[in-house]
Structure 1
């Protein structure tokens, strides 16, 4: 009889305990999925400047209403939508002056109607308006002034109709709503703002748009119209005014960090450090996600290469 002891298969050997971990630098933007809460003003509407019967309408819920077009006709005459900075409030004949005239001529110039900005209604202003009427299927005959009943005010050059309550054949009065418009956006902010963010200026990404936000996550007023033009904003509005916009919050300028296991970090005397190459190296802990901590050496030009996973409990950070 011969007894032979076979070696233990490698797959059954106890794994060697790892005491150090090679680390490498990576870019870190601290991106978080967040919601954006919007503060809305009162509802708005496209209104009729005169009483009559609606004889034509191109209004469609969810479609854009644009300045220079005629989304409605009343009593057979086109109603021209104009995005003037000041709503027109009176009939404007040749020779009229005022802030409303300045707003009208500025918008006609923007539309490429061959009018220079100015403060007086001249013949060129009237001819430009007549051409808008003709382009909309109306006739120039009888257009001797820019009648208040022939225009309707848009708060922006292009804006989405939220509803179209008036059908062709309906009777409308002066001031009647022809189309619903989105409520004015008064403000927007990240809500809630995560409380464990890495320090640094941040931006919010919504669809393909990026918006700077302050330390409290608030949007700048100049960006609110651009926010209201995103598909994500429209999707949230279709649910309710309380629905938050889905977005990402991230650092404006990504930073270089080292991902390390939390157990490798020593906290002593209000400082943090890791054992790198056998010596303590002070680090800033920027954030923690998914079981990893993201650290950055504090010294000028400092780097990490191989850190101890279980540093001695009495180690100090120096």
Structure 2
């Protein structure tokens, strides 16, 4: 009997409580944002911030191949090494000395293959004459495929700084130089024996041929994959204290500038950041303030009823970042307040 009485009292208490809640809800002031009925416009001031949309990335690197200059065959002891890392070898550069006779680099169409001297004839003589003319030792009018007096005189001038007095040019003392060469490392040892013919003795510096922004390991879905940017905004890459401009496909415009910051031959560089060159002005507004009409136009509305087109950059529950919003207040509830129903 006691249990039944308690059950009845409990039911009455629940009913009374529910009724009180209904009365309270009915008498409570309605929310201007969530109520379905027309309400007064609620003005809010957007929160303005600047962002560079910074993102941690890696850089994928491609390097130029290493090339070399080959030893022509001069035998003896290396008594001088005239070039080293960082030096440039050009037509006429003496790169080393063997038994005190210089080995000279000459730029010809093809490598010299025989000793040349007075009376020699052939295309290789004309090649040699062209190199001598480039050095200013022979007049262009005297370029010939015959090793005559003019070429003989020019070769004497070429030989003098090499420490040789002969009018002949031995092929063992001529390194073929297809083009200007920047030395990265040298295999010549002062005081050591001269290398055998055809062995590489000077090796070029390797340079970064291209550097491209790729996804970092932070996001496994994009890790190592090239990133491109299609929003038309200029971006740059920050690596340490250096900043590099990039194009829309994520390639650095001047990748050679980062060579001092990376190990030669490295395939990638981590801990880089890609960001906007000019900070983007972002405005955070309530999600309810954004009006999208039937035409697809997106806008916000001022308290005076003026619509302002905006672009939604990023959104989350309750708010969104937009660009193009006005400086002053906007209406948080343009549709529910009846202030505007379209962006036109």
Number of aligned residues: 270
Task: Name the CA distance, whole Å, in 2 between partners of 1:100 and 1:151.
Answer: 15
Task: Find the counterpart in structure 2 of residue 152 from structure 1.
Answer: 175
Task: Find the counterpart in structure 1 of residue 197 from structure 2.
Answer: 174
Task: Find the counterpart in structure 2 of residue 199 from structure 1.
Answer: 232
Give the conservation status (yes or no) of the 8 Å contact 2:153–2:167: no
Give the conservation status (yes or no) of the 8 Å contact 2:47–2:285: no
Task: Find the counterpart in structure 2 of residue 280 from structure 1.
Answer: 307
Task: Name the CA distance, whole Å, in 1 between partners of 2:141 and 2:272.
Answer: 40
Change (3 A) 1:202 1:271: same
Q: Could you give the per-residue CA deviations for residues 77-117 of structure 1, whole angstroms, max 9, x where no partner exists?
A: 212234x4745242466654379929x837963x5556549
Q: How does 1:38-57 map to 2 (within 5 A)?
A: 38-40=61-63, 42-53=65-76, 54-57=78-81
Task: Find the counterpart in structure 1 of residue 111 from structure 2.
Answer: 88
Task: Name the CA distance, whole Å, in 1 between partners of 2:194 and 2:94.
Answer: 18
Task: Find the counterpart in structure 2 of residue 138 from structure 1.
Answer: 163
Q: TM-score, normalised to structure 1's length?
A: 0.58
Q: How does 1:295-306 map to 2 (within 5 A)?
A: 295=323, 305-306=326-327
Q: Which moved more, 1:43-52 or 1:272-281?
A: 272-281
Change (3 A) 1:259 1:64: same
Q: Could you give the per-residue CA deviations for residues 171-207 of structure 1, whole angstroms, max 9, x where no partner exists?
A: 311012222323576x423131445563267788999
3-state SS, counterpart of residue 123 of structure 2: coil
Change (3 A) 1:112 1:29: farther
Gaps of 5+ in 2: 1-42, 215-225, 336-340
Give the conservation status (yes or no) of the 8 Å contact 2:155–2:168: no
Give the conservation status (yes or no) of the 8 Å contact 1:34–1:190: no
Offset of residue 313 of structure 1:
7.5
Gaps of 5+ in 1: 1-17, 298-303
Give the conservation status (yes or no) of the 8 Å contact 2:283–2:321: yes
Change (3 A) 1:273 1:41: same
Q: Could you give the per-residue CA deviations for residues 273-307 of structure 1, whole angstroms, max 9, x where no partner exists?
A: 4446753322456899xxx9684x5xxxxxx6525
3-state SS, counterpart of residue 261 of structure 1: strand
Change (3 A) 1:258 1:202: closer
Task: Name the CA distance, whole Å, in 2 between partners of 1:37 and 1:294.
Answer: 33
Offset of residue 166 of structure 1:
3.2
- Alpha-carbon RMSD across the aligned residues, in angstroms, is 5.2
Q: How does 1:16-165 map to 2 (within 5 A)?
A: 19-20=44-45, 36-40=59-63, 42-53=65-76, 54-60=78-84, 62-67=85-90, 68-82=92-106, 84=107, 86-91=109-114, 95-97=121-123, 101=127, 105=130, 109=134, 116=140, 120=144, 130-135=156-161, 137-139=162-164, 141-145=165-169, 147-154=170-177, 156-164=179-187
Q: Could you give the per-residue CA deviations for residues 210-229 of structure 1, whole angstroms, max 9, x where no partner exists?
A: 7875x43457xxx9xx855x
Q: TM-score, normalised to structure 2's length?
A: 0.54
Q: Could you give the per-residue CA deviations for residues 27-86 of structure 1, whole angstroms, max 9, x where no partner exists?
A: x998988654333465322221014132211343x322321322211233212234x474
Task: Name the CA distance, whole Å, in 2 between partners of 1:161 and 1:204.
Answer: 27
